[in-house]
Amino acid sequence: MTCFNSEHSLLPSIAELFLPFIFSSLLLAQSTL
């Protein structure tokens, strides 16, 4: 495994981690409005 390959796979994993958090916070913001 090269450095570029691991770095490339790291980015989508971070996005997958933060996507549900952003989505839930958006739903929370809509419910408070």
Determine the pLDDT at residue 33. Answer: 75
Residue indicated by tokens 């958090």: 21
Question: What does the pLDDT look like over 1-33, one tens digit per residue?
Answer: 455 555 667 777 888 889 999 999 999 999 887
In whole angstroms, give the CA distance from residue 25 to residue 31.
Answer: 10
Determine the pLDDT at residue 8. Answer: 64
Determine the pLDDT at residue 29. Answer: 93
pTM above 0.85, yes or no: no
State how far Cα 9 lies from the chain centre.
13
